[in-house]
Amino acid sequence: MLEIGVLVSGRGSNLEAILGSIEKGVVKNARVAIVISNDPKAKALAVARRHGAKAVALEAGGDSREAYGVRLAEVLAKHGVEPGKGLVLLAGFMKILPESFVNLYTGRMMNIHPSLLPAFPGIRAQQQALSHGVKVAGCTVHFVVPEVDAGPIILQKAVPVYEGDTEESLSSRILRQEHRLYPLAVKLFAEGRLHTEGRIVRRER
C-alpha cells in the first residue's frame, strides 16, 4: 500500500480528484494517509474530511523555512508517509519548501503547475500565459526539486488559448485537465511505471 501525503493551501479540487480516483479504484494500492494545510481556513481540509481522509492544519507561525520543513516531515512520517516509501503530493501548496525537506523525498514528491513548464513558473501562471500572448497553454505534473517548478516533467497536457479568454476562463479550461492529469501521474507512480534518468521521466506502457 502506497501511503500518500498531500500538502494543500486552498480550494482542494486537485486533492478531490485524487481522492475520487482512489475511491473509484482507478488508482489502486494507494491511500491518502494525511492532508496537511499551512492555512487552517483552506477549503481543502473540509474536502479531505468529507472523503474520510485525515486532515490537519500546520501553520508556519514564526518558524523558519527550515524549521517548518522539519515539522512537516515529522507529521508525514507519523502518518506513514516516510522518505523512500511514501509519496508526497503538492496540490496548490503555496509555501516554498526548504532543500532539506525536498531532498528527503527526491523522486517521491510531485507538484502540479498550471502551465506548460518550463514556461511561466511561479504564481498566476495562467495570467502570465495570457499576457505573453501564447496560443497554447496547459498544465504539468513534475517531480519536485529545490528550485521552484523546475523538476523532471512527468506528464503535460495542452489546451488552446482563445481570443477573449480571461484569467478565469483559461484557468478553468486548464483545471479540467489538471483533474485528469494528476490522478494519472499518481496511478503511474503507484504502479511503478515511472522511471527517471536525470531530467527525463520515462513512462512504462
* Binding residues vs ligand GRF (CB under 6 A): 10-15, 44, 91-92, 112-114, 175, 178
Instruction: Assess whether 179 carries a catalytic annotation.
Output: no
Q: Which is nearer to ligand GRF, 64 or 166 (CB)?
A: 166
Q: Which is nearer to ligand GRF, 77 or 136 (CB)?
A: 136
Q: How far is the CB of 67 from ligand GRF (least distance, A)?
A: 24
Position of minimal CB gap to ligand GRF: 92
Query: Edge-to-edge, what's the strand order for the sheet holding 200-203?
Result: 55-57, 30-37, 2-8, 87-90, 109-113, 136-143, 153-160, 200-203, 194-197
Q: Which of 51, 79, 113, 179 is catalytic?
A: 113
| Cβ distance to ligand GRF smaller for residue 9 or 33 | 9
Residue whose CB is less far from ligand GRF, 70 or 157: 157
CB 168 to ligand GRF: min, Å:
12
What residues are labeled active site? 113
